[in-house]
Chains A and B, each alone.
Chain A
């Protein structure tokens, strides 16, 4: 199993995502924003960071990167895609996921270990979790408040497209305590917290995040 990790200018957690993939037993494959080439990988991760400095709007420039012209149709054909933090923002900007990420309710950057409830264990990236599992994963973002119009939110809830929910406190004002969503098919997932920073007790609050990187192996 080969999992691609895209590096955009300003990507920061690409190295961490690659490490998580390796720890989960798969082979990380570096993908470069300027190449129209997915190198025949079996799945793709868009890592956290500040692509293009997030100067215009988070993810708004990265969605036009050459690699995205390959990724969007591949995702449409069922390729598993995981966006973490800035990667989630890019997937929303690319319209692979509904809604948008906006400024935190407190207007400040928030780094915190957050407890999450896994709401959908049928996606390509959450199959190894038990339904309703509680996991602890770091959140670190300034623009992590998930918003969508009422009809979209109702559709996400009805369709089981809410993948992760903040449990025991909403750190950033996200609608419906939503921390992660997927597309209708369940192959494209975006999460605001960082499972790649919860792959072991030494450097993270838990190893709860590893499950995200193992299930696509099946």
Chain B
């Protein structure tokens, strides 16, 4: 396959490129050209488009999220904080815990089963990349009205996907939430949490340090799943037909950019699933393989592959390390031989990890992978050039300063107070009708306990394995989950997830305080002392139109 090379980019500065279809603004496209001193190649354009997407760069939320690090009270327990794949806290006796929660909302609406399944898989790899053994998962779910026809499609699919992936992976599901509200019709929330346990010394870094060290891609082979945008690039070839018909479909959807951008030009591409397909068996092998690699001291740095796949892993590892990396994209194991550089960079094929390994440890690394029947390939090495250079059968197709892709633009978007916020604040709940006698009170009580949000959840939770690993002390329907960490000392770990969309709709600031307070209480009633919090904020598009 011929690829758009750096030499071609220099020779054809005026070539039209489908940056808008990939979700980049004209100003962002110009900024990329400014960084490179030429137009980007199609592979570079693919890389910047996914790295600068809202999903990967947090370009619209960064200015707000900075408050977390700036305002958090200092804690001696914090071993790794904001900026890492997941936070790590000390829980005593030499143990540390890492936990993280992420959304997989858009894919779970498009294809509930695989969308929810790969949501579990993705968060587990984040925890694994920190050096920890994943020990439990939780899920916070929101659906439209229980009686709505589409909820009957989405809810069983989501629950089935979580059950399929989590059970097969061997992680106990120890709690979470399930609630219904009309505002989630057509926009369900599927938030997956994973918690991992490690010894303090086990902490791994996501950095490509040490010139000459090998870069190894291992786990699943790379396929065309989740490449919608790049398919435009590959088939449109700068102004040819195809780009225009796919426009509008391929742009990353705000909030979940790059996760489930369906749509692609061409008949073959149209048949591809727009949501990635999960393989929990391979993920289980990947977990055991990684933990054995860590224990043998064979890893210098490691990163999971999630959104933006190889593009994200290479740029972030390089940017956080010595600074340079040389990658042979043609060395990436493919499950579809027709893929070119842009698609390989953007592919979101699941169950993949990238490791940085000292040259004299590569043989031992590959042996451990072979033991677990995990495919591994050396695809490049760390350099001290400060450039991320990628070749395709000898031709250079990417040559960028990695930090420019890893640290995207930052926007302070205009914000206005919602037009109905004052009316909501003024509404007096005292004016609501109240039960006047015992009969009305009884009816109100029955309505409450019969409502889907409060009713028995065992139809859902019976589909999750809460026993596997044999360390589950508390799980559903308890307020918080509790996992034993050490059999000898009895050290344990409690977790709860909470959210309250209605409180936050009425008053975002106070509502969020109440949500945190509820989570603290749910942990406290297990007997544990609350130690750390994380969050998963699910908002609409930051570029959405202001309300009328």
Contact = CB atoms under 8 A, between A and B. Distances in A.
Interface string B448-479: 00000000000001111111111111000000
Given A111-B462, A111-B464, A50 B168 contact: yes
B268 to A, nearest CB: 25
Contacts of A204: 467, 470
Interface in B273-321: 279-282, 284-285
Contacts of B463: 108-111
A62 B284 CA distance: 16
Contacts of A138: 467
A165 interface: no
Interface string B480-512: 000010010000000000000000000000000
Contact of B471 (A13, A140, A203): A203
Contact of B468 (A12, A112, A202): A12
A112 B462 contact: yes
A10 B168 contact: yes
A196 interface: yes
Interface stretch (A51-59, A68-76, A181-189): A51-59
Most chain B CB inside 10 Å of its own CB: which residue of A54, A111, A197, A204: A111
Contacts of B461: 111
Interface residues of B, number: 29
Given A50-B168, A53-B280, A111 B465 contact: yes
A194 interface: yes
A55 B282 CA distance: 11
B373 interface: yes
A16 interface: yes
A109 B467 contact: no
Given A12-B468, A204-B467, A109 B163 contact: yes
Contacts of B372: 9
Given A50-B167, A53-B281, A109-B463, A16 B470 contact: yes
A171 to B, nearest CB: 10
Contacts of A53: 168, 279-282
B470 A110 contact: no
B170 interface: yes
B473 A202 contact: yes
B470 A197 contact: yes
Nearest to B484: A203
Nearest to A12: B170
Nearest to A32: B371
Interface in A157-182: none
A9 B281 contact: yes
A4 interface: no
Contacts of A80: none
A141 B372 CA distance: 25
Contacts of A55: 281
A117 interface: no
Contacts of B167: 50, 109, 140, 142
A55 B461 CA distance: 23
Contacts of A134: none
Given A138-B467, A142-B167, 13 more contacts: A10-B281, A12-B284, A13-B170, A52-B281, A54-B281, A108-B163, A109-B167, A111-B467, A140-B167, A140-B468, A194-B467, A202-B473, A203-B472
Closest A-B pairs by Cβ, 8 of them = A53-B281, A12-B170, A16-B470, A197-B467, A50-B168, A109-B463, A140-B465, A138-B467
25 contacts: A9-B284, A9-B373, A10-B284, A12-B170, A12-B468, A12-B469, A15-B469, A49-B170, A50-B280, A50-B281, A53-B282, A54-B281, A108-B462, A110-B462, A110-B463, A111-B466, A111-B467, A112-B462, A140-B167, A142-B167, A194-B467, A196-B470, A202-B484, A203-B467, A204-B470
